[in-house]
Structure 1
Amino acid sequence: MTQRRRSEEVRLAVMLLTRLPAGRLANPAPSLAQARWAFPLIGLPVGALTWAAQAGGLAIGLDPLVAALAALAAAALVTGALHLDGLADFADGIGGGRDRGHCLEIMRDSRIGSYGVLALIFAVALAAGALASFGHAAPLPVFLFTATASRLAMLVLLDRLPPARSDGLGRRAAGAAPGGWVPGAAVTLGLAIWAGPGTGAALLAVAAVAILVARLALRRIGGQTGDVLGAAQVLTETAAILTLSACLPA
């Protein structure tokens, strides 16, 4: 695999998971399945921009909670709220579906229901409260670590769960390849070491939440979809932030 091909795969991952400018793909363009190894790496620019938003807000005198909400708003803006949309659809489908077919039908509906609204409210509120509890800008390594670890969890679910649909992102990006987790795992481990105390507990929290999402998705819809992956990213990142806020000194 040439370096040029790898860079094209990273570019495709940026295009899929963010709204950041990434130029144009060279022909022949890589497939989503080929580019999925780079999903955890997308946490680096997203985490850096989220940290900058919180640090900048505090620097101009915003209240810690307001600055935390500004950071989460920046994350939603840079990702196009892609994963938050997945969480809302997943919550609506799992919460309101009678059976597998009904769950998938609800998850495909663009309208948001009460389960989706509540899931978004609680996820954003918990993350914002945890970030505000630092009383200052959470360290840059914390943002980078939580953003990459949660996207690594998303990649693991993508590879370990069968697609629940015959179409969609979850189907197009599926197809495990040997060593596909290695780059993301290596970056996440390095960031965990950099971030310091509490990251071991945060990784356990990420793993626990990812397993819960996976078991729920398998039981209710028989596998993963793009919405399942988005929900896993948001929920594992929120769990990591909550754990670190409890472990790191304010």
Structure 2
Amino acid sequence: MSSDPSAVERLPPPPDRAPDLDERFTGALSAERWVAHYLPHWTTPERSEARYRITPEGLELRIDEDQLDWRPEDAPLRVSNLQTGTFSGPLGSASGTHRHRDDVRVRTETPLRLLFAPSSGRVDLTVSATRDDGCMLAAWLVGTEHLSPEDSGEICVFEIDADAVAGSTVARTGVKAHHDPRMHTDMAEVTLPLDASRAHTWTVTWGSGETVIGCEGRVVRRIGQAPDYPLFLMIDLFEIGPPRGAYPKAAMIHRVQGWSFDE
């Protein structure tokens, strides 16, 4: 993000209609809008289940001291995640959303649930990133893969490591091709003139072959490609590496708004 006001590209305003997804996290977490597990088909429920609590400020994702690694094969890695749907093939198959490794197989068969899965749209996320040791807050839109295993591209709205948060913040953002031969990975680090541990809003719009990612009303990346198939939204807190430091570790999701541009 440039410090020259004349060089700032502003994000467009949100659509002039009610969001298809509008979550302020008051009361119990809605099972009609969220799955509180991280890619549950590749592991088992006690490992994929999110740790969280509802607060007056929003939903606090947590990593607790007794939390299990998400998958033994990926350890040490603990995750608390919200996502807007699920898909897997049959038990033992390699079919499912976000095949992050070639050797993954379905351990918990999950039904197809398209709670919010637009092929084009806009998402606004207001979050407070973590400063806890070894942690990262991330938000992705990932191809569901329920129509084709090639529909696996990802929009990385942001990945913010705890040790990159200070008076200014470094974040990773862009797109990842994964198993989609029609896309190419285009990721970059951006420096934001803000302390990301305080509430700030990220925006992504995608469609018609372009992805635009912004923060606090300003465009930070404009990318000449976009997935054109259904995407689940995922918001997650990771602890990467062996347990250390004080617990619980936490990050806050204050509000999520989403609009589908699908006709």
Q: Normalising to structure 1: TM-score of the pair? A: 0.27
Higher fraction of helix: 1
Higher fraction of strand: 2
Q: Normalising to structure 2: TM-score of the pair? A: 0.26
